[in-house]
Amino acid sequence: MPRRNCTKDSGPPAISGAPLIDSDLLGWRDLRLTEWQGVAPQEAYEKELSRHLIVVHATPHSVRVYERAEGFRAEALARLGDVNVLSAGEEAFCRWDQPLSFVRLEIPPAFLKTVAARIEHPQSGRLQVIHAFHARDGKMLQIIRWLADELRHGGLGGKLYSDSLTDLLALHLLRHYTGPPAGRAPIGPSALTRKEITRAIEYFNANLDQMISLNDVADAARMSPSHFPRLFRRSTGLSPHQFLIRLRVTRAKELLLAGSQGIAEIAAEVGFADQSHLTRHFKRLVGTTPKKFRSR
Protein backbone atom coordinates (compact mmCIF):
# COMPACT_ATOMS: atom_id res chain seq x y z
CA MET A 1 0.00 0.00 0.00
CA PRO A 2 1.62 3.15 -1.21
CA ARG A 3 3.75 4.92 1.29
CA ARG A 4 7.26 3.62 0.88
CA ASN A 5 9.66 2.57 -1.80
CA CYS A 6 11.51 -0.64 -1.28
CA THR A 7 14.71 -2.24 -2.55
CA LYS A 8 16.20 -5.62 -1.75
CA ASP A 9 19.41 -4.38 -0.19
CA SER A 10 18.40 -1.28 1.73
CA GLY A 11 15.65 -0.15 4.05
CA PRO A 12 12.62 1.41 2.39
CA PRO A 13 12.96 5.21 2.18
CA ALA A 14 9.92 7.47 2.46
CA ILE A 15 7.83 7.89 -0.66
CA SER A 16 9.04 10.74 -2.87
CA GLY A 17 7.22 14.00 -2.35
CA ALA A 18 4.72 14.78 0.37
CA PRO A 19 0.97 14.32 0.86
CA LEU A 20 -1.37 17.12 -0.10
CA ILE A 21 -2.97 16.96 3.33
CA ASP A 22 -1.95 15.26 6.57
CA SER A 23 -4.11 15.01 9.68
CA ASP A 24 -0.98 15.04 11.87
CA LEU A 25 -0.97 18.82 11.31
CA LEU A 26 -4.27 19.03 13.21
CA GLY A 27 -3.17 16.66 15.95
CA TRP A 28 -5.71 13.92 15.21
CA ARG A 29 -4.73 11.06 17.54
CA ASP A 30 -7.12 8.20 16.76
CA LEU A 31 -6.65 8.24 13.00
CA ARG A 32 -4.08 9.47 10.51
CA LEU A 33 -5.42 10.58 7.13
CA THR A 34 -3.12 11.56 4.27
CA GLU A 35 -4.03 12.37 0.69
CA TRP A 36 -1.56 11.79 -2.15
CA GLN A 37 -1.85 12.91 -5.77
CA GLY A 38 -0.02 11.78 -8.88
CA VAL A 39 2.53 9.65 -7.05
CA ALA A 40 5.22 8.51 -9.50
CA PRO A 41 5.35 4.82 -10.56
CA GLN A 42 7.24 2.73 -8.01
CA GLU A 43 7.10 -0.19 -5.59
CA ALA A 44 5.77 0.44 -2.09
CA TYR A 45 6.38 -2.07 0.68
CA GLU A 46 5.82 -2.41 4.41
CA LYS A 47 6.97 -5.63 6.05
CA GLU A 48 4.56 -5.31 8.96
CA LEU A 49 1.87 -2.65 9.24
CA SER A 50 1.84 -1.02 12.66
CA ARG A 51 -1.78 0.14 12.21
CA HIS A 52 -4.89 -1.04 10.43
CA LEU A 53 -4.80 0.49 6.97
CA ILE A 54 -7.48 1.72 4.57
CA VAL A 55 -6.46 2.92 1.11
CA VAL A 56 -8.94 4.55 -1.27
CA HIS A 57 -7.91 4.77 -4.92
CA ALA A 58 -8.47 8.33 -6.15
CA THR A 59 -6.95 8.35 -9.66
CA PRO A 60 -9.73 9.48 -12.06
CA HIS A 61 -8.91 6.71 -14.54
CA SER A 62 -8.15 3.03 -13.90
CA VAL A 63 -4.52 2.15 -13.10
CA ARG A 64 -3.08 -1.37 -13.22
CA VAL A 65 -1.58 -2.33 -9.85
CA TYR A 66 0.14 -5.41 -8.52
CA GLU A 67 -0.65 -6.01 -4.85
CA ARG A 68 0.47 -8.55 -2.28
CA ALA A 69 -0.45 -9.17 1.36
CA GLU A 70 0.38 -12.13 3.61
CA GLY A 71 0.40 -14.97 1.08
CA PHE A 72 -1.93 -13.46 -1.52
CA ARG A 73 -1.07 -11.60 -4.67
CA ALA A 74 -3.15 -10.15 -7.47
CA GLU A 75 -2.78 -7.90 -10.49
CA ALA A 76 -5.84 -5.82 -11.31
CA LEU A 77 -7.13 -2.44 -12.41
CA ALA A 78 -7.58 -0.03 -9.51
CA ARG A 79 -10.68 2.05 -10.18
CA LEU A 80 -11.73 5.37 -8.73
CA GLY A 81 -13.32 4.64 -5.33
CA ASP A 82 -11.87 1.15 -4.85
CA VAL A 83 -11.15 0.47 -1.18
CA ASN A 84 -8.39 -1.72 0.24
CA VAL A 85 -8.44 -2.77 3.91
CA LEU A 86 -5.47 -4.41 5.65
CA SER A 87 -4.95 -5.45 9.24
CA ALA A 88 -2.14 -4.30 11.50
CA GLY A 89 0.66 -6.86 11.45
CA GLU A 90 0.21 -7.72 7.77
CA GLU A 91 2.77 -7.37 5.05
CA ALA A 92 1.72 -4.86 2.38
CA PHE A 93 3.15 -4.42 -1.11
CA CYS A 94 1.95 -2.46 -4.13
CA ARG A 95 3.53 -1.70 -7.51
CA TRP A 96 2.14 0.63 -10.18
CA ASP A 97 3.43 1.93 -13.51
CA GLN A 98 1.34 5.09 -13.93
CA PRO A 99 0.94 8.11 -11.62
CA LEU A 100 -1.37 7.07 -8.78
CA SER A 101 -3.57 9.12 -6.47
CA PHE A 102 -4.99 7.77 -3.23
CA VAL A 103 -6.20 8.55 0.27
CA ARG A 104 -4.60 6.61 3.08
CA LEU A 105 -6.06 6.13 6.58
CA GLU A 106 -4.18 4.51 9.44
CA ILE A 107 -6.09 3.40 12.55
CA PRO A 108 -4.26 2.34 15.74
CA PRO A 109 -5.36 -1.15 16.86
CA ALA A 110 -5.76 0.12 20.44
CA PHE A 111 -8.33 2.70 19.32
CA LEU A 112 -10.35 0.13 17.36
CA LYS A 113 -10.33 -2.19 20.39
CA THR A 114 -11.55 0.68 22.59
CA VAL A 115 -14.49 1.33 20.28
CA ALA A 116 -15.20 -2.40 20.08
CA ALA A 117 -15.29 -2.67 23.87
CA ARG A 118 -17.53 0.38 24.10
CA ILE A 119 -20.16 -1.24 21.87
CA GLU A 120 -19.58 -4.71 23.39
CA HIS A 121 -18.42 -6.15 20.09
CA PRO A 122 -18.37 -9.96 20.44
CA GLN A 123 -14.68 -10.09 19.43
CA SER A 124 -13.45 -7.04 21.32
CA GLY A 125 -10.97 -9.17 23.28
CA ARG A 126 -9.30 -10.66 20.16
CA LEU A 127 -10.26 -8.33 17.36
CA GLN A 128 -9.50 -9.46 13.82
CA VAL A 129 -9.75 -7.11 10.86
CA ILE A 130 -10.40 -8.98 7.60
CA HIS A 131 -8.56 -7.56 4.65
CA ALA A 132 -10.20 -6.68 1.35
CA PHE A 133 -8.94 -5.53 -2.04
CA HIS A 134 -10.83 -3.34 -4.54
CA ALA A 135 -14.00 -3.35 -2.44
CA ARG A 136 -16.88 -1.09 -3.45
CA ASP A 137 -18.12 0.48 -0.22
CA GLY A 138 -20.19 3.61 -0.66
CA LYS A 139 -20.75 4.19 3.07
CA MET A 140 -17.05 4.03 3.87
CA LEU A 141 -16.27 6.38 0.98
CA GLN A 142 -18.77 8.92 2.27
CA ILE A 143 -17.29 8.90 5.78
CA ILE A 144 -13.79 9.30 4.35
CA ARG A 145 -14.94 12.20 2.14
CA TRP A 146 -16.32 13.95 5.22
CA LEU A 147 -13.05 13.39 7.07
CA ALA A 148 -10.97 14.64 4.14
CA ASP A 149 -13.19 17.72 3.73
CA GLU A 150 -12.84 18.48 7.43
CA LEU A 151 -9.07 18.21 7.14
CA ARG A 152 -8.96 20.44 4.03
CA HIS A 153 -10.92 23.10 5.93
CA GLY A 154 -8.46 23.04 8.82
CA GLY A 155 -10.72 21.31 11.31
CA LEU A 156 -13.45 23.93 11.02
CA GLY A 157 -16.05 21.66 12.62
CA GLY A 158 -13.98 21.24 15.76
CA LYS A 159 -12.70 18.22 17.65
CA LEU A 160 -16.15 16.85 18.46
CA TYR A 161 -16.99 16.66 14.74
CA SER A 162 -13.73 14.97 13.67
CA ASP A 163 -13.92 12.56 16.63
CA SER A 164 -17.51 11.66 15.70
CA LEU A 165 -16.49 10.90 12.12
CA THR A 166 -13.53 8.83 13.32
CA ASP A 167 -15.82 6.83 15.62
CA LEU A 168 -18.27 6.34 12.74
CA LEU A 169 -15.48 4.98 10.53
CA ALA A 170 -14.35 2.63 13.31
CA LEU A 171 -17.92 1.37 13.78
CA HIS A 172 -18.24 0.73 10.04
CA LEU A 173 -14.95 -1.16 10.06
CA LEU A 174 -16.08 -3.26 13.03
CA ARG A 175 -19.42 -4.06 11.43
CA HIS A 176 -18.21 -4.97 7.94
CA TYR A 177 -14.50 -5.88 8.15
CA THR A 178 -14.13 -8.03 11.25
CA GLY A 179 -14.86 -11.74 11.64
CA PRO A 180 -18.13 -12.90 13.23
CA PRO A 181 -18.31 -14.66 16.61
CA ALA A 182 -17.33 -18.33 16.55
CA GLY A 183 -20.11 -20.54 15.29
CA ARG A 184 -22.03 -17.70 13.63
CA ALA A 185 -20.61 -17.56 10.10
CA PRO A 186 -23.24 -15.87 7.95
CA ILE A 187 -24.43 -17.73 4.87
CA GLY A 188 -26.63 -15.81 2.48
CA PRO A 189 -28.39 -16.74 -0.74
CA SER A 190 -25.43 -15.53 -2.82
CA ALA A 191 -22.81 -17.39 -0.77
CA LEU A 192 -20.58 -20.13 -2.17
CA THR A 193 -21.92 -23.66 -2.39
CA ARG A 194 -20.44 -26.38 -0.20
CA LYS A 195 -18.74 -27.85 -3.29
CA GLU A 196 -17.06 -24.54 -4.14
CA ILE A 197 -15.86 -24.07 -0.56
CA THR A 198 -14.53 -27.64 -0.50
CA ARG A 199 -12.59 -27.07 -3.71
CA ALA A 200 -11.03 -23.91 -2.28
CA ILE A 201 -10.07 -25.57 1.02
CA GLU A 202 -8.63 -28.60 -0.77
CA TYR A 203 -6.52 -26.26 -2.90
CA PHE A 204 -5.31 -24.42 0.21
CA ASN A 205 -4.36 -27.66 1.96
CA ALA A 206 -2.53 -28.99 -1.10
CA ASN A 207 -0.50 -25.79 -1.48
CA LEU A 208 0.16 -24.57 2.04
CA ASP A 209 3.87 -24.15 1.34
CA GLN A 210 3.29 -22.08 -1.80
CA MET A 211 2.61 -18.41 -2.47
CA ILE A 212 -1.10 -18.70 -3.27
CA SER A 213 -2.67 -16.04 -5.46
CA LEU A 214 -6.30 -15.01 -5.35
CA ASN A 215 -6.64 -16.03 -8.99
CA ASP A 216 -5.28 -19.51 -8.22
CA VAL A 217 -7.74 -20.30 -5.46
CA ALA A 218 -10.66 -18.73 -7.33
CA ASP A 219 -9.81 -20.92 -10.33
CA ALA A 220 -9.71 -23.98 -8.08
CA ALA A 221 -13.19 -23.12 -6.76
CA ARG A 222 -14.31 -22.43 -10.35
CA MET A 223 -15.31 -18.89 -9.45
CA SER A 224 -14.59 -15.44 -10.83
CA PRO A 225 -11.69 -13.78 -8.91
CA SER A 226 -13.72 -10.57 -8.70
CA HIS A 227 -16.58 -12.25 -6.79
CA PHE A 228 -14.78 -15.04 -4.93
CA PRO A 229 -13.38 -13.07 -1.92
CA ARG A 230 -16.75 -11.53 -1.01
CA LEU A 231 -18.67 -14.80 -1.38
CA PHE A 232 -16.01 -16.79 0.47
CA ARG A 233 -16.17 -14.36 3.38
CA ARG A 234 -19.97 -14.45 3.37
CA SER A 235 -19.87 -18.26 3.49
CA THR A 236 -17.12 -18.78 6.08
CA GLY A 237 -16.97 -15.52 8.03
CA LEU A 238 -13.32 -15.09 7.04
CA SER A 239 -11.45 -13.70 4.06
CA PRO A 240 -9.58 -16.28 1.95
CA HIS A 241 -6.33 -14.90 3.34
CA GLN A 242 -7.35 -15.25 6.97
CA PHE A 243 -8.78 -18.72 6.35
CA LEU A 244 -5.44 -19.74 4.82
CA ILE A 245 -3.53 -18.37 7.81
CA ARG A 246 -5.69 -20.44 10.15
CA LEU A 247 -5.09 -23.58 8.07
CA ARG A 248 -1.35 -22.93 8.19
CA VAL A 249 -1.39 -22.45 11.95
CA THR A 250 -3.46 -25.62 12.42
CA ARG A 251 -0.97 -27.61 10.33
CA ALA A 252 1.91 -26.06 12.28
CA LYS A 253 0.31 -27.25 15.53
CA GLU A 254 0.18 -30.80 14.17
CA LEU A 255 3.84 -30.71 13.14
CA LEU A 256 4.91 -29.18 16.45
CA LEU A 257 3.21 -31.99 18.36
CA ALA A 258 4.87 -34.56 16.09
CA GLY A 259 8.17 -33.14 17.33
CA SER A 260 10.42 -34.22 14.46
CA GLN A 261 11.14 -30.81 12.88
CA GLY A 262 12.53 -27.50 14.02
CA ILE A 263 10.23 -24.48 14.22
CA ALA A 264 11.94 -22.76 11.28
CA GLU A 265 11.47 -25.89 9.14
CA ILE A 266 7.81 -26.05 10.11
CA ALA A 267 7.33 -22.37 9.23
CA ALA A 268 8.67 -23.02 5.73
CA GLU A 269 6.66 -26.22 5.29
CA VAL A 270 3.34 -24.54 6.06
CA GLY A 271 4.00 -21.44 3.96
CA PHE A 272 5.15 -18.75 6.37
CA ALA A 273 8.00 -16.47 5.29
CA ASP A 274 10.13 -17.34 8.31
CA GLN A 275 9.95 -18.40 11.96
CA SER A 276 9.02 -14.93 13.23
CA HIS A 277 6.15 -14.78 10.71
CA LEU A 278 4.81 -18.09 12.02
CA THR A 279 5.30 -17.02 15.64
CA ARG A 280 3.36 -13.77 15.18
CA HIS A 281 0.28 -15.45 13.72
CA PHE A 282 0.55 -18.51 15.96
CA LYS A 283 0.56 -16.37 19.10
CA ARG A 284 -2.35 -14.27 17.83
CA LEU A 285 -4.54 -17.33 17.08
CA VAL A 286 -3.39 -19.85 19.69
CA GLY A 287 -2.45 -17.49 22.51
CA THR A 288 1.10 -18.76 22.96
CA THR A 289 4.30 -19.15 20.95
CA PRO A 290 5.15 -22.30 18.96
CA LYS A 291 8.01 -23.05 21.34
CA LYS A 292 5.79 -22.90 24.42
CA PHE A 293 3.05 -24.85 22.65
CA ARG A 294 5.49 -27.66 21.86
CA SER A 295 6.78 -27.81 25.46
CA ARG A 296 3.34 -28.19 27.04
Q: Which run of H or of E encompasses 94?
A: strand 92-96
Per the CB < 8 A criterion, the answer to whether 57 and 63 are in contact is yes
Q: Is 6 a domain residue? A: no
Q: What is the pLDDT of residues 215-226, one digit of tens each?
A: 888 888 888 777
Phi-psi region of 271 (alpha: psi -120 to 50; beta: other; left: phi over 0): left
Residue 16 lies in a domain: no
For residue 263, is it within any domain? yes
Cα three-residue angle 126-132-134, rounded to 5 degrees: 160
The predicted model gives 244-250 an average pLDDT of 92
pLDDT of residue 219: 87
Measured CA to CA, the distance from residue 9 to residue 12 in angstroms comes to 9
Q: Phi then psi for 145, rounded to 5 degrees?
A: -60, -45
Domain match, 42 and 153 both: yes
Tens-digit pLDDT profile for residues 63-92: 999 888 775 677 788 889 999 898 888 888
Kindly report the CATH number assigned to the domain that includes residue 284: 1.10.10.60
From 25, 23, 82, select the one nearest 55 (Cα to Cα): 82
Asked whether 26 and 148 are in contact (CB, 8 A), the reply is: no
* Adjacent-strand bridge partners of 34: 22, 104
Can you tell me the distance from the alpha carbon of 213 to that of 73, in angstroms, rounded to the nearest whole number?
5
Confidence of residue 185 (pLDDT cuts 50, 70, 90): very low
The answer as to whether 69 is a domain residue is yes
Domain containing 272 equals: 246-296
Q: What CATH number did the domain enclosing 47 receive?
A: 2.60.120.10
Highest mean pLDDT among 29-43, 172-186, 187-201: 29-43
